Amino acid sequence: MSKRFTDTELFENKWFRKLPIKYKCLWHYLCGKCDGSGVWKVDFDLAEFLLGEHFDENEAFSKFEGRVRRITEDKWWIVDFIKFQYGCLSLASKPHKYVMKIAESHGLMGELESMGVVVSQSEHKGTVRKRVTEKVRLQVYSDDCYKCQYCLEHKDHAELVIDHIIPVSKGGDSSRGNLITACVKCNSIKWDNTPEELMSKIERENLVPLIGLPTVLHRLSKGLDTLKEKDKEKDKEKDKEKDKEKEPKTDPDFEQFYKAYPKKKAKVDALKAWKQVKGMTPPIADIVAAVEAQKKTEDWRKDGGQFIPLPATWLRGGRWDDEIQQTKTAPEKHYFN
Ligand SMILES: [Zn+2]
């Protein structure tokens, strides 16, 4: 038998006070029967059998307004369960890790993060996502004038949550542009939907329209435009970098030297050497002239030019200054008939 905390002030709570007695029982039943993350596998047959009362599922759901969410057809989630039982979940705590594992199996981690219930970054997903800090949370509330942006009603701090306009599960992040103030009730209606999906859900299920939703949609498209602009800027920067890469890394003088030099080996090293000696070299014309002169020497001509130094060695050695020993060049052979 596992043990759980119970709220000693529950009976003073206005919402709870108004509940018919059988729903008070049902609430206790749910809080006891849910799993470690507050998820109850909906089974009214069993609940009715054990509590000896008949329940209407939809009525029960509406009685627990906003405190319970349908995460799938047959799963209800007690939204504040984790916060109440464990406070903030931290990866540093083994029991918390276990709770996170269960929560993750229900796809609740993103929601817990947006509620500020998970302390550590979501390493469990292999991604590092910025947590919504208390400072950011208060800033968002204040920017939105403590008003739920979906129903546009002013609420107490305790009834407000931070909503990720694009849910974390659908790629939304915790950047400022994706955060908005929502009341517990609207947030439970929005659940894991994008604003567009929420719009269709409201139409499909004939729910009371959320008067702030069009503005949220507008805000989103504006935010997306800004993101697109940012992407364009990023692309431009990338193009610039590419252009830089395209820029010749060599210089024309070097190319002229290399063209003249008879041994074309290790060009990269030669260029490196060129850059090292640059500033000490005579004008390029003199270098080319030196190369041309040395080409004619015996040393460079003999044995198929195997004694010609590598261009890098030649440059590093400052060989343009070499004295040229005019050796007799092999007489050119002329054939006469
Ligand atoms: Zn609301």
Domain assignment present for 141: yes
Domain closes at, from 219, 247, 275: 247
Measured in Å, residue 296 CA sits from the centre of ligand 1 at 91
Measured in Å, residue 208 CA sits from the centre of ligand 1 at 11
Total number of domains in the chain? 3
Around ion ligand 1, which residues have CB less than 5 A away? 148, 150-151, 183, 186
243 and 151 assigned to the same domain: yes
Best CA proximity match to 197, nearest among 212, 182, 213, 184 = 213
Measured in Å, residue 238 CA sits from the centre of ligand 1 at 42
143 and 211 assigned to the same domain: yes
Domain carrying residue 187: 132-247
Domain closes at, from 72, 99, 124: 124
Sign of CA pseudo-dihedral 247, 253, 256, 258: negative
Domain assignment present for 92: yes
Question: Is residue 248 predicted with pLDDT exceeding 80?
Answer: no
**Helix 21-33 / helix 44-51 crossing angle, nearest 10 deg:** 120
106, 77 contact by CB (below 8 A): yes
**Two tokens, residue 45:** 């047959």
- Could you give the CA distance from residue 64 to residue 234 in angstroms, rounded to a whole number? 47
Measured in Å, residue 68 CA sits from the centre of ligand 1 at 15
261 and 204 assigned to the same domain: no
What pLDDT, in 10s, does the model give residues 106-162? 988 888 877 778 865 444 444 445 567 778 888 999 999 999 999 999 988 778 888
For the entire predicted model, the pTM comes to: 0.43
Domain closes at, from 124, 154, 172: 124
Among 34-48, 115-129, 189-203, 286-300, whose mean pLDDT is lowest? 115-129
Domain assignment present for 279: yes
Domain assignment present for 327: no
Collapsing DSSP states into helix, strand and coil, what is residue 196? helix
**Two tokens, residue 153:** 């009603």
Measured in Å, residue 150 CA sits from the centre of ligand 1 at 5
Measured in Å, residue 156 CA sits from the centre of ligand 1 at 11
Measured in Å, residue 183 CA sits from the centre of ligand 1 at 4
Partners of residue 189 on adjacent β-strands: none
Domain assignment present for 206: yes
Partners of residue 41 on adjacent β-strands: 75
26, 51 contact by CB (below 8 A): yes
185 and 156 assigned to the same domain: yes
- Could you give the CA distance from residue 308 to residue 314 in angstroms, rounded to a whole number? 9
34 and 120 assigned to the same domain: yes
- Could you give the CA distance from residue 292 to residue 287 in angstroms, rounded to a whole number? 9
In order of 114, 174, 212, the CA distances from 129 in angstroms are: 11, 7, 28
Measured in Å, residue 147 CA sits from the centre of ligand 1 at 8
Measured in Å, residue 15 CA sits from the centre of ligand 1 at 17
